[in-house]
Each structure stands twice: as structure tokens, then as C-alpha cells.
Amino acid sequence: MEDRVSVITPTYNRPRWLPETIESVLNQTYPNVEIIVVNDGSTDDTEQILEPYMDRIVYIYKENGGQGSAVNAGIVASTGEYIARVDDDDLFLPEKVELQVRMFQQKPQLGLVATDCHIIDSEGKITETRVVPDFSGQGAFLTLLQQCIFSPPTLMVRKECYDKVGLYKNIYAEDYDMWIRIARYYPVDVIHKPLAMYRRHESNLSAGASGIKGNIDIRSFICETMDLILLEELLPEVQSIPHAHDVRGAIFLKHDLYKRAGREFYEAVKADPQDMAHRFWSGILLRRLSQYEDANECFSKIPSGHELYDDSLNAMELTSRIQAADYKDETTMCQIRRDLSIEYSKLMNITIAIAAEGRSQ
């Protein structure tokens, strides 16, 4: 018999799309799927909506405790070798489970398999397709420490991973935290085909307090993870301590943790004062702190002929654009944000490449 896949759907007071979600799991081409619906204390007609499906699902009712606790209840009750999750407003496409299981079978070392996905609106219309970026150069763990690259309904996890990394935390960004924990210990792969639909609608697009709490939660578990790991884990191939400080600092910088970023860049410069990558990162931090003259002084120290020289000129030009920008001009600010992201990614890749070359010499 085929390995079993347990698909967990946590739900709370949102029955509108729940039947469509369940139908998308029932219609999978893979034959051995267990559907676990965890009602996290709904006070509406969710249970009545589920009545036609009760003979085809495992139904769990629990007191309201948050999404993380609901998913945990599903994991504990599951009997499958693999765990997938689809929230009560998202959808699986028919081949999703089958293709992910096949990849696990082909690569038994994997802990997690993701896919691309379609973004849909409240009416189910596709508005965009989200493609997982290539993380082969840095690895999934280091990439995830910088940004969340997966969409919630696309993941499937080997169940034994939870024995190693623990269950979900009951926080705003519980998925992102879990993916980082799994990627720390297990290889991760991607099927580059949209196999799920992630629904964007008014209730999950809201900003305000929930967005602020999300940022706080993310910064908290990023700091927790960084405090737990050794420097060598960030660059396992090269084990360059000064550049590992650069990478740690860059991760903190990405999440606006400026004090922690500054300490890492200081340690990098102290360990190797002649390395220009350290100076460049320090300049980026100073620019983020609006210390533009000090930032340009760091950039100006990159000597002509160095591989970062042209980038340093571009960095000074970008600094001037930031200083002169009208922050109400959204078009200009979008372009600046794109250029900052490109600059960051390029410098991260150069830092890792420099470290690798130093290791090989």
C-alpha cells in the first residue's frame, strides 16, 4: 500500500470556503490520503457545514487556542508518514499530494518538499503565480533566515521531522518558524509547478496590529535561531568566521535588527580589517540608519580594481537617490526598494563567494 499522507485543515469561524478546501483534498490523484479537520473552537455553523463530510474526514473539536495549537492537534492525531496542511480558505490542485510523495520516495533524505502556487482572490480567480526562488547557491536554511520563500498550502513534511524539531509554536508566523527549524536539519526541495492555491482576501490582508505582531514574532524567532546555531552552520562549506559574522549581520539587517547587525559587522572588521566586504556591509547598515556621510565613507574605501568597486560607486549613487527621494512618490520608492534588494542579494552572494575562495587558497 502507498504511504499515507495526513492533510491537516485548521479552521476557526470561517466556513465560507471550507467545503471547497475539503473537496480539493478529496479529489487528489493520490489514493491514500487522511483528512484531519481541526475545529479550533468555532462559534458559528462550521460543524453543520462539515456534516456531509464526517464519514470521509477525521474531525477534531478543541477549545480555541490559536492556529498553531490546532495544527499540533492534527499532527498528534495523524497516522500518515507525511504531513501536509491546507488552511480553510486555500486549495490543493489534483496532483499535489502524488507529486510530492513521489519526490520524497525518490529522495528519502528530504525533510520538506515545497511547490509553486497560484494566488487567488476571494472568488477563486488567479491573480498571480508565486514561484519559489532558486536557493541552490545559499541553501534553504540560509535563504529562509533572510526571507520567507514558501507559501503555506504548498508544503509537505516528513512526519519524523517533528520528532527532531518539535511542534508548532502558537505565534503569528508559525509556518515560517517551522520551515526554518526543518531546513536547519533536513534537505529541502521544490517542485516547480503550481500545485496549490493560496487565497488572498480581506481578512488575511489586514495590516495594523496583526502585521506589527507578525514582525515582532519573526524577529523573535530569528534571534532565537541565530543564538542557537554556531557561526560555522551559516557557511558550512567554508567555515570563515569573519564572513560568517558578515552573514549573521546581514540576516539581522534584513529584519531591521540594527544593533545586532552592527555588533556582527564590528566583529567581522575586527577579525579581518582589510576585507572590503566587511566595510561594504557596515556602509549599508549606516545608510539604513540614515547616517549617509558615514555610509559613503565606508563605500569610498573600496579601492579601484577591487571586485566590489563598481558596486561601491552604485551604492553611493543609491545613497544620493535615497537622500533626495520624495517618500510620497510611490513609483520612485518602489524602484529604490527594488534596487536595495538587488544590492543586498548581490553582496550576500559575493560575501559567500569571497569566503569560499579564501578557503580554497
Q: Does the structure show a pLDDT above 60 at 23? A: yes
Q: Does the structure show a pLDDT above 60 at 330? A: yes
Domain 5-205 shares a fold with domain 230-360: no
CA angle 214, 219, 221 (to 5 degrees): 95
Nearest residue to 300 (alpha-carbon basis) of 286, 290, 315 = 315
pLDDT at 243: 85
Q: Which CATH superfamily hosts domain 5-205?
A: Spore Coat Polysaccharide Biosynthesis Protein SpsA; Chain A (3.90.550.10)
Q: Does the structure show a pLDDT above 60 at 347? A: yes
CATH code, residues 230-360: 1.25.40
Q: Tell me: the pLDDT tens digits for 154-200? A: 999 999 999 999 999 988 899 999 999 999 999 999 999 999 999 99
Q: Does the structure show a pLDDT above 50 at 360? A: no
Q: Does the structure show a pLDDT above 60 at 208? A: no
CA angle 187, 190, 191 (to 5 degrees): 145
pLDDT at 201: 84
Nearest residue to 114 (alpha-carbon basis) of 137, 143, 89, 88 = 143
> First and final CA of the chain: distance in angstroms?
52
Residue 205 neighbours by CB distance under 10 Å: 8
SS (H, E, C) the chain: CCCCEEEEEEECCCCCCHHHHHHHHHCCCCCCEEEEEEECCCCCCHHHHHHHHCCCCEEEECCCCCHHHHHHHHHHHCCCCEEEECCCCCEECCCHHHHHHHHHHHCCCCCEEEEEEEEECCCCCEEEEECCCCCCCCCHHHHHHHCCCCCHHHCEEECCHHHHHCCCCCCCCHHHHHHHHHHHHCCEEEEEEEEEEEECCHHHHCCCHHHHHHHHHHHHHHHHHHHHCCHHHHCCCCCCHHHHHHHHHHHHHHCCCHHHHHHHHHHHHHHCCCCHHHHHHHHHHHHHCCCHHHHHHHHHCCCCCCCCHHHHHHHHHHHHHHHHCCCCCHHHHHHHHHHHHHHHHHHHHHHHHHHHHHHHC
Domain boundaries, the chain: 5-205, 230-360
Comparing 138 with 1, the larger pLDDT belongs to: 138
pLDDT at 22: 98
pLDDT at 210: 54
As a whole number, the mean pLDDT across the chain is 92
SS (H, E, C) 178-209: HHHHHHHHCCEEEEEEEEEEEECCHHHHCCCH
Residue 178 neighbours by CB distance under 10 Å: 24
Residue with cell 499530494: 97
Nearest residue to 355 (alpha-carbon basis) of 249, 185, 236 = 236
d(CA 136, CA 114): 14
pLDDT at 214: 76
